[in-house]
Amino acid sequence: MTASDNRATNPARWTPQRLSHVTEALEDLWGVATGTVRQRRGGTRYLDDLFGTDLPDAALAKFVTNGALWALGDVDAFTVIRDHVIVALYVRVERRRLGLGRALVHVARAEAAHDALVLPGDRAMKSLFESIGWKARLLTLGDA
């Protein structure tokens, strides 16, 4: 068992850190996360709104530069907090259900996040936020 595996079995040992530079591991996970989101209903529109006119890699660099991105472990998970809202939270598939997402939500709350954005049909993410007491309260409608 590696040190990383030990942390995964004991989520209290995870130490979220604000990343100060883009690493290869972060770029890899960012690519997986954005690819996954693009496949979901509303995902392409959501990413367009999140990135603005930036390309995904440029948006990632901005989030890191602005201190908006937090990560866990060897970049097994990350969250992006913007204007007190969790706008992105992603956990590597093989590391899910170990408490990493919850650890990142607690960091976000400590950073004054009081809201989160979740795509339609993403029941797992909605359940995570409901488990900390947040309630779904907004449905956005518009052209696809």
The residues, ordered by sequence, that sit 6+ positions from 66 with a Cβ below 8 Å of its Cβ are: none
Closest CA to 70 of 101, 47, 49: 101
CA distance 85 to 117: 7
Low-confidence stretches of the chain (pLDDT beneath 70): 1-14, 140-144
- 14-131, which class in CATH? alpha beta
- In sign, the C-alpha dihedral spanning 125, 112, 14, 11 is negative
- Show the DSSP H helices in the chain as ranges: 3-9, 24-39, 43-51, 56-65, 100-110, 123-131
Spatial CA neighbour of 105 closest among 126, 75, 74 = 126
Tokens 């100060």 — which residue? 20
What pTM was computed for the model?
A: 0.84
pLDDT at 18: 86
| Predicted local distance difference test score (pLDDT) of residue 71 | 92
Distance CA 141, CA 144 (A): 9
